[in-house]
């Protein structure tokens, strides 16, 4: 099968491309390299089954041409990262909403299936634990730029489901929860693991925002990719939304402590006020824990890699890449 991966030079996209090639598929990656890295895919460039196209998902004729060549679309391209969203919310909204719109329109015209990568950020300020895929969303103020990404991803989901319901487009929506592993870019959203690992290996202070008691659930990249691939292969997944996550809750402060210990680092762990890095109006979430039973029931997906094991592999990868 010939498969298109938008954003395929990014952290998750490049690992997904590796998996698809290993399964015998032909893979086209399109990426504008604004966040993706050529280094993430250079090991595949000589493969006859791999093709890289440097381009933007806002380039409608290009995207339409590439989608016409492929049978399946994994749409991962997006502007991610808190700082990117805060400094350029217009670009974040244009890419994440208009870009997705062009992908879905072309996929519909060509009759191609789409797996749409969304995010746990769509749950925004919801305090429910755990978070089910059909739960209500509590969104932040439109005057706070921090919520642009969350809003854009929610709009992406609405667009995708509208195409599915009104135009019979086969589409599956997957919500990633803090994926981590080799190639993770410290600039990306939810990339606190990469930041902490780099700081620990450098011997710099490990900077934890707020009081560090906020909790997250981290999903190792192998599990993230497994859930992504399964979402494309299970017929019953069409028109559905899935949390792709491991429900192993940990505080961010404890995460920093684990990484410091595993890296044998002399770094101090320092608490830094949010406003020092993100401005006075920044808002964060105290807990974000996924419900995972729907993905297990329909996709047969259950994340396998414990946090400690995944962190050990991540630290080893970052250390060897220096």
Which residue has better confidence, 86 or 25?
Answer: 25
Q: Is residue 160 part of a domain?
A: yes
Three-state SS string over 88-154 comes to CHHHHHHHHHHHHHHHHHHHHHHCCEEEEEEEHHHHECCCCCCECCCCCCECCCCCCHHHHHHHHHH
Predicted pLDDT at 287:
97
Q: Is residue 279 part of a domain?
A: no
Residues with Cβ within 8 Å of 265's Cβ and at least 6 positions away in sequence, in order, are: 200, 201, 203, 206, 259
Q: Is 127 exposed, middle or buried (0-12, 13-18, 19+ CB in 10 A)?
A: exposed
Neighbours of 167 (CB within 10 A): 14
Please name the helix (run of DSSP H) or strand (run of DSSP E) that holds residue 21, with its range, or none. Answer: helix 11-22
> pLDDT-derived band of residue 144, with 50, 70 and 90 as boundaries?
confident
Angle, CA 244 vertex, CA 108 and CA 70 arms, to 5°: 30
Nearest to 308, CA basis, from 185, 188, 193, 145: 193
- Look at 117-126, 202-211, 271-280 and tell me which has the smallest mean pLDDT: 271-280
Predicted pLDDT at 282:
80
CATH assignment of the domain containing 13 = 3.40.50.720
Predicted pLDDT at 276:
85
Q: Is residue 297 part of a domain?
A: yes
Residues with Cβ within 8 Å of 308's Cβ and at least 6 positions away in sequence, in order, are: 258, 262
Q: Is residue 193 part of a domain?
A: no
Cα(232)–Cα(224) distance, rounded to whole angstroms? 13
Predicted pLDDT at 322:
64
Whether the per-residue pLDDT at 189 is higher than 60: the answer is no
- Exposure of 125 in the CB half-sphere (CA atoms within 13 A): 10
Residues marked as catalytic: 149
Q: Is residue 126 part of a domain?
A: yes
Tens-digit pLDDT profile for residues 4-55: 999 999 999 999 999 999 999 999 999 999 999 999 999 999 999 999 999 9
Domain range for residue 20? Answer: 2-180+220-247+289-304
Whether the per-residue pLDDT at 70 is higher than 80: the answer is yes
Q: What is the mean pLDDT of the chain?
A: 95
To the question of pTM greater than 0.85 for the whole model, the response is yes
- Whether the CB-CB separation of 79 and 95 falls below 8 Å is answered with yes
Q: Show the beta-strand stretches assigned E in 153-192.
A: 171-176, 179-180
Q: Is residue 15 part of a domain?
A: yes
Whether the per-residue pLDDT at 184 is higher than 90: the answer is yes
- How many domains is the chain partitioned into structurally? 1
Sign (positive or negative) of CA dihedral 140, 141, 147, 151:
positive
Q: Which tokens sit at 170? A: 């086969």
Whether the per-residue pLDDT at 146 is higher than 80: the answer is yes
Above pLDDT 90, what percent of the chain? 86
Whether the per-residue pLDDT at 214 is higher than 90: the answer is yes
Q: Which tokens sit at 204? A: 């710099």
- Whether the CB-CB separation of 97 and 255 falls below 8 Å is answered with no
Q: Is residue 129 part of a domain?
A: yes
Q: Is residue 321 part of a domain?
A: no
Whether the per-residue pLDDT at 82 is higher than 80: the answer is no
């Amino acid at each position: 099968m010939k498969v298109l991966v938008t954003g395929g030079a990014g952290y998750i996209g490049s690992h997904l491309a590796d998996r698809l090639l290993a399964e015998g598929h032909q893979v086209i990656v399109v990426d504008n390299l604004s966040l993706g890295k050529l280094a993430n895919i250079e090991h595949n460039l000589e493969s006859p089954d791999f093709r890289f196209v440097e381009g933007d998902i806002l380039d409608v004729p290009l995207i339409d041409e590439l989608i016409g060549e492929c049978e399946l679309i994994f749409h991962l391209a997006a502007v991610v990262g808190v700082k990117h969203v805060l400094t350029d919310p217009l670009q974040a909204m244009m890419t994440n909403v208009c870009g997705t719109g062009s992908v879905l329109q072309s996929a519909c015209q060509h009759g191609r299936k789409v797996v749409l990568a969304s995010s746990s950020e769509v749950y925004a300020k919801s305090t429910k634990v755990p978070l089910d895929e059909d739960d209500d969303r509590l969104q932040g103020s439109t005057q706070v730029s921090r919520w642009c990404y969350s809003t854009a991803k929610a709009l992406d989901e609405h667009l995708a489901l509208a195409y599915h319901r009104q135009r019979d487009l086969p589409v599956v929506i997957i919500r990633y929860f803090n994926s981590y592993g080799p190639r993770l870019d410290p600039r990306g959203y939810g990339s606190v693991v990469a930041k902490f690992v780099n700081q620990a290996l450098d011997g710099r202070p490990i900077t934890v925002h707020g009081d560090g008691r906020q909790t997250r659930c981290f999903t190792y990249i192998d599990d993230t990719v497994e859930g992504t691939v399964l979402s494309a292969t299970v017929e019953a997944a069409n028109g559905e939304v899935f949390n792709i996550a491991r429900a192993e809750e940990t505080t961010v402060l404890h995460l920093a402590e684990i990484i410091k210990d595993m890296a044998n680092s002399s770094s101090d762990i320092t608490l830094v006020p949010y406003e020092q890095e993100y401005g006075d109006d920044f808002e964060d979430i105290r807990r974000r824990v996924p419900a995972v039973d729907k993905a297990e029931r329909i996709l047969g997906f259950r994340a396998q890699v414990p946090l400690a094991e995944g962190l050990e592999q991540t630290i080893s990868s970052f250390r060897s890449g220096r």
